[in-house]
Copies of this chain bind each other. A is one copy, B any other.
């Protein structure tokens, strides 16, 4: 029962866990977010209880799965966010990176954003936002950090940055979701339109004929 022994076991368990996650990934990508534990186990060549031993419950498995993809996505976003360029270019690069990601793998995106809850009704009260897609939260928080650290916002900058972080992420997400469903324009056009919005073009635009505009 010395250290190497234990490390071996742990390594084996970790490898197994990765294999299971990869199998789960395949199934979720094939069957959608409603994929059953049985299906995942079958894909991995084993049976349900093993999944439960590794991940506790379905939420655990999905959380682990989501973490993988979220980490990957955040990595890509960070790169775009930290690129050496001026602000507008960075914003556009970040938007484009996100949109390219959801465009390339819509199933992954769908899984991350609409995890299909499934919470038993016997659960506790309404912890609003707790069951919501945590991906957006993480993205919002990270963006807030970058903003607060890079942009000079005067007093109350931290709160402002957080609001903006979550707001911008939400804008990106909603616009991306809609765009992915309808494909009304190219990705570049979408990026440009959103950046224009953030650059205050709504405030700068004139009214249309007939009274005060929106």
Give A contacts to B, CB under 8 Å.
31-36, 39, 81, 84-88, 90-91, 106-107, 109-110, 113-114, 116-121, 123, 126-132, 136-137, 140, 146-147, 149-153, 159-160, 162-164, 166-175, 177-182, 184-185, 189-190, 193-194, 196-208, 211-214
Q: Say which residue of B36, B128, B179, B200 sits within 8 Å of A110 (CB atoms).
A: B128
Quickly give the copy total for this chain: 2
Residues of B within 8 A of A137 (CB): 178
When the two chains form their complex, are residues A132 and B194 in contact, meaning their CB atoms are under 8 A apart? no
Residues of B within 8 A of A214 (CB): 81, 87, 90-91, 146-147, 150-151
Assess the B166–A39 pair: CB atoms within 8 A.
no
Contacting pair A208 B152 (CB below 8 A): yes
Report yes or no: A164 in contact with B180, Cβ–Cβ below 8 A.
no
Contact A34 B120 (CB under 8 A): yes
A167 contacts across to B, CB distance below 8 A: 171-172, 174-175, 193-194, 197
CB <8 Å contact, A130 and B181: yes
Shortest beta-carbon distance, A194 to chain B, in Å?
Answer: 6
Q: How far is the CB of A197 from chain B (nearest CB, A)?
A: 5
> Which of B33, B152, B170, B182 meets A172, CB within 8 Å?
B170
Q: List 20 A-B contacts (CB under 8 A).
A: A34-B118, A87-B212, A109-B128, A114-B131, A117-B117, A129-B177, A129-B182, A150-B212, A151-B202, A151-B206, A151-B207, A152-B206, A152-B213, A163-B197, A166-B174, A197-B198, A198-B203, A199-B202, A199-B203, A200-B200
- Chain B residue nearest to A119 (CB atoms) is B34
Write the chain B residue with the least CB distance to A158: B184
**Bound Cα distance from A39 to B120, whole angstroms:** 13
